[in-house]
Amino acid sequence: MTGRRRAVRPGEPSTPRVERQGADGRAGVSTVWRVRSLETARQVLRARHATTQAGFTAEAIPRGRLKHHPILVSDGPLHDEQRSKVARFFAPVVVAERYTAQMEECADRLLGRTGPGGRLTLDELALHYTVEVTAEVVGLTESSVPRMSRRLVSFFRQPPFDITRRDLGRTPRQWMLAAWNGLLPVGRFFLADVRPAIRERRRERREDVISHLIDEGYTDVDILVECVTYGTAGMVTTREFVTMAAWHLLRDDVLRERYLVAGEQERFAILTEIIRLEPVVGHLYRRAQEPIDVTDGEDSWTIEAGDLVDVCVRPANADPRATGEDGLDLCPGRTLPRGVNAAGLTFGDGAHKCPGQPLAILEADVLLTRLLGRAPRVVREPEVGWDDLIEGYTLRGLVLELPADDPGSR
DSSP letters, 273-331, are HHHHHS-SB-EEEEEESS-EEEEETTEEEEEPTT-EEEEEHHHHHT-HHHH-TTTTS--
Q: How confident is the model at residue 89 (pLDDT cuts 50, 70, 90)?
A: confident
Amino acid in the structure at residue 72: L
Higher pLDDT residue, 364 or 23? Answer: 364
Whole-number average pLDDT of the chain: 88
For residue 40, which of 337, 400, 239 has the smallest C-alpha distance? 337
Q: Measured in whole angstroms, how far is the alpha carbon of residue 149 from the centre of its chain?
A: 16
Alpha-carbon distance of 83 to 53, in angstroms, equals 14
**pLDDT of res. 389:** 74
| Cα–Cα separations (whole angstroms), residue 162 to 90, 171, 312, 367 | 32, 11, 15, 36
Phi-psi region of 350 (alpha: psi -120 to 50; beta: other; left: phi over 0): left
Residue 77 CA: distances (Å) to CA of 53, 74, 282? 14, 9, 27
Lowest mean pLDDT among 3-17, 100-114, 253-267, 303-317: 3-17
**DSSP-H helix ranges across 57-194:** 76-86, 92-112, 122-138, 145-154, 172-189
pLDDT band at 22 (very low <50, low <70, confident <90, very high): confident
Report d(CA 216, CA 160) in Å as an integer.
36
Amino acid at 364: A
Spatial neighbors of 64 by CB under 8 A, at least 6 apart, are none
Is residue 210 a contact partner of residue 227, using CB atoms and an 8 Å limit? Answer: yes
CATH topology of domain 18-409: Cytochrome p450 (1.10.630)
- Rounded-to-integer distance, Cα 315 and Cα 15, Å: 8
Nearest to 43 by CA among 358, 356, 345, 347: 345
Binning pLDDT at 50, 70 and 90, where does residue 78 land?
low
**pLDDT tens figures, 102-134:** 999 999 999 999 999 999 999 999 999 999 999
C-alpha–C-alpha distance, residues 253 and 60, integer Å = 46
Query: What are the residue boundaries of the structural domains of the chain, listed by start?
Result: 18-409
Give 276-288 pLDDT, tens digit per residue.
999 999 999 999 9
Burial class of residue 180 in the structure, from the number of CB atoms within 10 Å of its CB (0-12 exposed, 13-18 middle, 19+ buried):
exposed
Residue pair 36/319 in contact (Cβ under 8 Å)? The answer is yes
Q: What integer pLDDT is reported at residue 1 of this predicted model?
A: 47
Task: Compute CA distances 274 → 5, 151, 231, 249, 315, whole Å.
Answer: 9, 28, 23, 9, 15
Closest CA to 345 of 83, 40, 93: 40
* Range with lowest mean pLDDT among 138-147, 162-171, 337-346: 162-171
Q: Is 219 buried (19+), middle (13-18) or exposed (0-12) by CB count in 10 A?
A: middle
CB 1 within 8 A of CB 14: yes
